[in-house]
Structure 1
């Protein structure tokens, strides 16, 4: 049985975070390198984990976006297109929300969690109103295990 895992995390990462993220991903993603990951198509942790997983594992990767790929930030849409071009993505799911807003991101996150066994979250801070904590709490409400890795 292949484990299915949702990745959620902060959009606010900087170039200074890159070395630290590599260490965190080695420690907390590599053990699941043969899983099926659902990854949001936003900038930040979404793009960083997509790039790292595609380069360092044989994991199956599904990217889910709330509207369309071209509605995502340039860095995210470029990463998605690049990995599609290298045949590293099993699927790109565009949920076609009418507006790219908080409710669309929450719907995307629920979609991913509902299809996963496990959620790994990379929050920055403890603000329970962030999208990362929303997703982790949604998973908790459904009795799904979570791994919280602070950034």
Structure 2
């Protein structure tokens, strides 16, 4: 019997890609196409479990992508790794709706019962520790922030990382 393989997504929030939400909305179809391509490739390689950190931006787009593929690949599952219950509390309604949809249609792991300064960091480590592959999407290479930290941690743990960099309307692998 083949061992189950899992992957997690990490990526930056909308403001890292564009200065305004309307511009990010225009970019979303490209990001979703990219995430679909990478997720399909992972499924074809035997990955069946996908972890999503539930942040605005790449995380939520990745979760939506996994759920959109379930009709064709019923064996795949989405696990939402929630840093703390009130994560989306101050978000715009459109992001809260998307968060709630993912929450309602997936398995969930709660990292902390309340906000703590390290709950996002612990969420990222949990996802890497439970994954065999990390798929990262960034607007620019940086040494700072949660995505960069997650990539460094994955490499330290000898996990393969697919890094996709958005650069002037194209993605570089």
Given the two structures, how large is their TM-score scaled by the length of structure 1?
0.85
Q: Which runs of 4+ in 1 moved over 3 A?
A: 73-77
Q: Deviations over 1:91-117 (max 9, x none)?
A: 11121254354x221111001111111
Structure having the higher Rg: 2
Instruction: Give how far 1:26 is off.
Output: 3.1
Residue number in structure 1 paired with 2:171: none
1:64 corresponding residue in structure 2: 81
Aligned equivalent of 2:12: 10
Partners of 1:71 and 1:26 lie apart in 2 by 25
Higher relative contact order, chain-length normalized (CA < 8 Å, sep 6+): 1
Q: Give, in whole Å, the separation in 1 of the partners of 2:125 and 2:4.
A: 20
Number of aligned residue pairs: give it. Answer: 146
Instruction: Report whether the alignment pairs 1:79 with 2:98.
Output: yes
Q: Point out where structure 2 has 5 or more consecutive residues left out of the alignment.
A: 18-23, 167-173
Structure 1 residue ranges without an equivalent (≥5): none
Residue pair 1:127, 1:133 contacting (<8 A) in 2 also: yes
Q: CA deviation at 1:65?
A: 1.2
Query: What TM-score, normalized to structure 2?
Result: 0.75
Q: Does 1:27 find its partner at 2:40? A: no
Cα shift readout 1:16-54 (whole Å, capped 9, x = no counterpart): 211211321232111123520110011100111111110
What residue is the counterpart of 2:50 in the other structure?
A: 37
Q: 1:50 aligned to 60, 63, 84, which one?
A: 63
Query: Which residue does the alignment assign to 2:21?
Result: none
Conserved in 1, the CA contact under 8 Å of 2:80 and 2:102? no
Alpha carbons of 1:108 and 1:83: their partners in 2 closer, same or farther (altered >3 Å)?
closer
Work out the CA distance in 2 between the residues paired with 1:147 and 1:64: 20
